[in-house]
Each structure stands twice: as C-alpha cells, then as structure tokens.
Chain A
Amino acid sequence: MPVNKMAPCSPCVKAMKTTALLLVTSVTMLTPGLSGAMGDATSGSLGKTERAELVRLVRQDCGSCHGMKLTGGLGTPLTREALAGKPVESMAATIIHGRPGTAMPPWKTLLTEAQAQWIAEQLIAGFPEETP
C-alpha cells in the first residue's frame, strides 16, 4: 500500500496495514461465482462454501438495490425488523420469480429454489455478515 512519504506518522499507516492483513485472509476464502453451487436444487442442506457465496451475493449484489446493510434503497429494507411476520415461502418465491411491476428481477437463472429458500430463512432470522 503506497503511503505518503511526507507524513510518516500519519494514523492511516496503521489502518492500512490492518486492512492489508484482512484482505489477504478474505481473498483466500473466496471462490469465484456460484457456478459450483448450481444444479443442486434437490439438496436441502447447502455446503459451507455455498452458504458463504450466497451471503456475499446477497450483501453485494442484492445490496445494490437493498443496501449492503439491507436497510433499503431503491429496493425495500430486508432487515429482520422490516420482514417480521412475512412467510418464508412467499419471500423465496419473490426471489425466484421477481415482482412484476417493480425493479425486483427474477433470480431463477442464477439461483436454485433451495438457495432462494435458504436466503429467505436467513433474512427472516437476521442475515449473516460476510465472514472474512
């Protein structure tokens, strides 16, 4: 991480080193895409790697409308409080089929029903953070 040579005592130096360490660990944990997880619609239990990929997808890609912290944006908030009382099945159906007339797209080309079901269950329970 290039750091300003004129300010050797800058408090940012320490922060940058910490960040760099975190990055190394997070990069090694990731596997690209969800391709490895597809075609597994019948499996009720998802593997650890697959779950981590789904958490990332929800935080990062659903997050472009719903917010990375799921507090809402162009899309509705998806926090546990906001979703209280919503049936999991209908949420999973919304993920798979989208919501016509709104900006919510159908995710069926990218997610299996089992994956959508798992995401809906996690959202209701309070969605996990990405683990580095």
Chain B
Amino acid sequence: MRTFGYLIACFAFSLVLAACSSAPVAPVVRGTGDLGVVIERAKGAVTLVNTSSRSAYGRVEGLGDLSHASVVFSRDARYAFVFGRDGGLSKIDLMEGRLAKRIMQSGNAIGGSISQDGRIVVAQNYTPGGIKAFDAQTLELLSEVPAEYAPGKFSKVVGLADVPGQRFAYALFDGGEIWVSDFTNPRAPTTRRFPAGQQPYDGLITPEGRYYLAGLFGEDGIAQLDLWRPENGARKILQNYGRGQEKLPVFKMPHLRGWSIAAGQAWLPAIGRHEVIAADATTWLETRRVALKGQPVFAIASPDQRQIWVNFAHPDNGWVQVIDTLSGQVVQTLQPGRAVLHMEFTARSGNVWISARDDNKVLIYDTRSFAKLAEIDADAPSGIFFTSRAARIGF
C-alpha cells in the first residue's frame, strides 16, 4: 500500500513537471465580480488584480501604446476591452488571465464604450476622427461614423458614452457638436447632431442615462443635452464660472465620467482653475466651489456618494484631496505617491485604489480611516478599472 502511494505521488509529481514544461496552465476557476485591470502605460501591459485579496493575479503584455488607455467590460464581467492610444483594441479574458483577441482599429484612439446589450464595442478615434463599432465577440468591424462635421473636415472625438437604447453619445472637439448615434441596426447606425459650444474636451452621461454633459475648453461652461428630450437641443450650463478672472494654463485636460454625480449634485473639475465646481443635479445651477491644491484632473465620487476624491495636473500631481459631499469641505489631503494618475473605488465604497506612476505602485486606502491598506507593484501604472463598471451606464 505504501509503495502504491509512493507511485501515485511520483506520477502526480511528473504531471506537475509536465505541466511546467508545456506552457498553458489549466484555467483557474474564479468569479470575476471582484477583479480589475491596472494599465501599465509605458510597458503596454496590464496587471490583473483582485480587489478582495488586494493583490495582483496575473499580467498580460503586448498591448501596444497604452499611454492613454481606457477599459470597458463585457456584461458578464469576464472580458476587459482595452483601447490603446495607437488604435489597438485588445480583449482580455479575466478568468483565464490571457489575451483573447487583439486588432488594430485606427491610427490614434482615445477610448471606447460598450452597448446596452453588450454586443457592440465602440472605439472613439482622433485619427481618422470618428467612431467605429465592433462585434464584442469577434471584434469584427460592423460600421463606422466618421466625424465629418463639415465637408472634408473631420473632428477628434471625445467623451464617448453609452446611452440606453443601443445608442452612444460623444462630442466633437474640433466640430463643437454633440452627436448621438443609434446602433439598433449595428451595420447601419443613424446619427443626430447637436451644436454644443467651443472645443468640448470630454463628456459624461449621468448615471440614469438622461443627461449628456460635455465640458468646454474653448469657452466657460458645460454643454448639456437632455436625452429624454433631445428635440430641445443642447444648452449651456455653469456659464461664466471663470468670468472676470484670467484663465490659468491647463496642463492636463480634466476627465469627466458619470461618477461625478453625488448627493444630488454634479461635482466637476473647473477647467484651468484650482477648484471643483458643484451644481444642483436638478436645476443645474451652481451650488458651491471648493478651493483645491491644483488643477483637478479627476473628481470621482465614492459609490456611497459621501466623498469626492480629486487628483491634479502637473505640477501638483503628488496630491489627492477628499471633499465631504455634505459639508462641501476638504476633509483630507493625502500624498499617496509621485504622479497620481487615477483612482478607482471598490463597488460598494470602502476602498479606493490609487495609481502613483512615478513610484511604480498602486496604493489601496480605506475611505473612512484614510489608512493605507496595501500596495501593489505595477510599472508606471495609470488607469485602474474594476469589473463593477460592467453593470453601470456610462462606463
């Protein structure tokens, strides 16, 4: 009996050796609801992370230029679609921790989005300006909408967001318009155009999918389109928030997303100013401004809507400030590391993950005590994306 056991042990050991010599390891069975990806912008790689164990569980390389990358997730939260600066679109299998498919879809891209039904992923491009729709399963090109706002003139596309009803809203930086494309027939989209204002730099859709907001760089204010009543067109809100003051140079464009809506207000980076500006999310009138350490890049509400975490453009990008949404006061100022580029919350609040590019680390903080809970090594980390985005409109 003992010999038999020994033989089995030997056999098992040789199997392990065999597994080691032939590369692909059997897929690990894992739920994906607590997973995420961290972009390593310089290496063209992503580190795969687990938000429960607060650790990395894998890494996928060969994703091209990820110096401005964004990620959306399939509705089953198994796949991450990574949109790279160089027009690469990569589909990563989070369960198996490997690259499932990759295409080059344009020359210069800025991000992407996924449709309500999860069947279409759409990339937004600078060159050639426009959007392109792909089959989420095969990454086959289905259709495209060139951002030709005047004959022969193509615009860079910014602020792409999914809209309920198989639609996508986006803004034309050069064209000064908001476009809404309907992909009910994915091979023959229809598009409505709305004049918005000068140089929209990014956009967001409110969490219920009603309002599309495009921040304007070329003038003070934000263009707002009511997607429940698009016939009314886009109107300007928060106009003149910098009136009478000399504009500060903007060293990095702020990023907008639907995370800005919290406690009945929209909390938006005031472009060029060292402020976050809050507006009532019903009347869209300004309610307050919060003075901060630098030019905000991201102003992100925690999912419990109790806090807004803000990071800053160079040269203040070593700081993070936290605003209490009830009092409108800064309640915490942190120095998590050098060159803080992004923050992401766990789905029910509690933890926030912060990327510090120049420290090659992702720092994990408790949002109540502000204590640092853990660190994860990553090469020049930028965007952090958790699979909880899979179930949110506008992500």
A residues with a Cβ closer than 8 A to B are 1-4, 6-12, 15-16, 19-20, 22-23, 26-27, 30, 32-34, 57, 60-61, 63-65, 67-69, 71-74, 98, 101, 103, 105-107, 109-110, 130
Contacts and interface: CB of A to CB of B under 8 A. Distances in A.
B58 A10 contact: yes
A6 B28 contact: yes
A20 B361 CA distance: 11
B377 A20 contact: yes
Interface of B: 19-20, 23, 25, 28, 41-43, 45, 53, 55-61, 65, 67-68, 85-86, 97, 108, 110, 126-127, 156, 158, 173, 199, 201, 217-218, 249-253, 314-315, 318, 338-339, 357-360, 376-377, 379
Given A67-B68, A67-B85, A73-B126, A61 B377 contact: no
A71 to B, nearest CB: 7
A20 B156 CA distance: 37
B217 A32 contact: no
Contacts, number: 118
B126 A68 contact: no
A interface secondary structure, majority: loop
Contacts of A64: 68, 252-253
A64 to B, nearest CB: 5
Chain A to chain B: the 10 pairs with minimum beta-carbon distance, closest first: A105-B249, A68-B67, A2-B55, A12-B59, A4-B57, A9-B20, A7-B25, A61-B314, A6-B28, A23-B360
Contacts of B314: 57, 61, 110
B141 to A, nearest CB: 22
A34 B251 CA distance: 15
Nearest to A104: B249
Contacts of B61: 12, 15
A2 B377 CA distance: 8
Nearest to B251: A105
B360 A98 contact: no
